[in-house]
Structure 1
Amino acid sequence: MVLLGTLVNGVCIIIGALLGNVFRNIPEKVKATVMSGIGLSVVLLGVQMGLKSEQFLIVICSLVIGGMLGEFWDIEGKLNHLGKWVEKKIGYGSEGMIAKGFVSATLLFVIGSMAIVGALHSGLRGDHLVLYTKSILDGFTSIILTATFGIGVIFSAVPVVLYEGTIALLATQIEHWIPQSLLNSFIIESTATGGVLIMAIGFNMLRLTSIRVANLLPSILMNAIIIFGIYIWHLIK
């Protein structure tokens, strides 16, 4: 089943959010320390991913152009607006916390190599191991995020399933129309680009910065466009 890994990921996030909602009386010191540990781990993961790049200039160009597009489209603002709309519909929690939980969890669970590579492995090879591993990490993280931000974290399961599921379904056909060398190049450079975004998320979790990470999301799309352009250029040279 192509979507098995994706569905498991979504279920783990929901279960983690429900558990976090039950155990919301976790002492603030414990939550702060655990969140700091997760934040540091996220930064380290981002560094490891970023160092995988073989053409870092592609990463820089993707971030610059993608960041400009993201600011123009105001992706972060729209995500926050969506979170606040959900908040009003269910009428739960203190003002702004459900939106913050939804946005923070969505960014953390969607961005990164595990989501992309895991979904590709599910679609291309029927191998769900990467997404199973991600599911465990996301489940534990959602417990802490929910205990900190509230039940809004549970709604992040929807974009995660849609995002990973779409990639997995497309991957079942991708080998028929994308050369393996082009696909490998995209995975490597998108992993590195995602690593920079992951680092930004980690710094935000540590409250060292207030980077609008969502507005950098188009950099993944720009990454694909630039790599495809380079591939075509080499063909016609």
Structure 2
Amino acid sequence: MILIGALLNGIGVSIGTLLGSLLRRIPDSMKHTVMNVMGLAIIVMGVQMGFKSENFLIVILSLAIGAVIGELFALEDKLTNIGGWLEKKIGSNKEGSISQGFITGTLVFVVGAMGIIGALDSGIRGNHDVLYTKTIIDTFVALILTTTLGIGVLFSAIPVILYEGSIAIFATQIERFIPQALMNSFITEITATGGIMIIAIGLNLVGITKIKVANLLPGIVVTALLVSIIYGFKSHF
């Protein structure tokens, strides 16, 4: 089932929120340890994905060009600014606690490379491993957010399902217009490129780096373009 990854991610956020509403106080040392373990697991998964590349030059070029585009448009900064602006607007609202929990949760769970890469993987390959991993992470993060922001975090499960589900459904239609050989190359190189981004997410969670992963997302598009160019060149010669 194409949508199972997205659905489980939304369910995970809901479960985390409900648990968070029951557990008011969680030791900081426990939060730190669990987040580090998750970060290490994500790094290992990203490494496995990265090794799938058949032409690592494509991955390197995609990430480099994608990073330049992302930095030029300051994608992560813009997303952060939008979130800050929304939270300030909501802050004066009487329903601020619920609204703030909803907006913050949505930004945390939706924005980022892992959701996009995982949804693409679900749609193109029918592989939900990335979204399963994201579900585990989001469940714990939802629990922590709920202890500080309240039950409003629960409502962020809805945009998570809609967002990841839409990407997964769109990805299934790609195969109708692209030759199988080209599709195989797409899957291989996009998986590898996404794997490097996932390593960055893991390093950020562990606290080793502060990479602006959202600024790397254009690399996914660049990968598709480079693979298409190489495929077209080989087809004519």
**Deviation string, structure 1 residues 39-85 (Cα, Å, up to 9, x no partner):** 11111111111111110000000001000000111110122123224
- 5 Å-filtered alignment, 1:168-187, equals 168-171=169-172, 173-187=173-187
TM-score (ref. length: structure 1) = 0.80
TM-score (ref. length: structure 2) = 0.80
The letter for the 2-side match of 1:110 is G
Residues 165 and 74 (structure 1 numbering): CA distance in 2 closer, same or farther, change over 3 Å? same
Alpha-carbon separation, structure 1, partners of 2:54 and 2:48: 13
Deviation of the 1:158 alpha carbon = 2.0
Structure 2 unmatched ranges of 5 or more = none
Match of 2:137 among 125, 137, 141: 141
- 5 Å-filtered alignment, 1:1-237, equals 3=3, 5-88=5-88, 89=90, 91-92=96-97, 99=104, 102-103=107-108, 106-107=111-112, 109-112=114-117, 114-121=118-125, 130-131=127-128, 136-150=132-146, 151=149, 155=156, 158=159, 161-171=162-172, 173-237=173-237
CA contact (8 A) 2:113 2:213 kept: no
Alpha-carbon separation, structure 2, partners of 1:28 and 1:108: 27
CA contact (8 A) 1:25 1:147 kept: no
The letter for the 1-side match of 2:133 is L
- Identical positions, percent: 39
**CA RMSD, Structure 1 to Structure 2 (Å):** 3.0
Runs in 1 of length 4+ with deviation above 6 angstroms? Answer: none
CA contact (8 A) 2:70 2:217 kept: yes
Structure 1 unmatched ranges of 5 or more = 123-129
Aligned to 1:126: none
Alpha-carbon separation, structure 2, partners of 1:117 and 1:201: 17
Residues 21 and 79 (structure 1 numbering): CA distance in 2 closer, same or farther, change over 3 Å? farther
Aligned residues: 225
Alpha-carbon separation, structure 1, partners of 2:231 and 2:4: 33
**Deviation string, structure 1 residues 7-56 (Cα, Å, up to 9, x no partner):** 34333333334433543522111111111100111111111111111100
Deviation of the 1:209 alpha carbon = 0.9
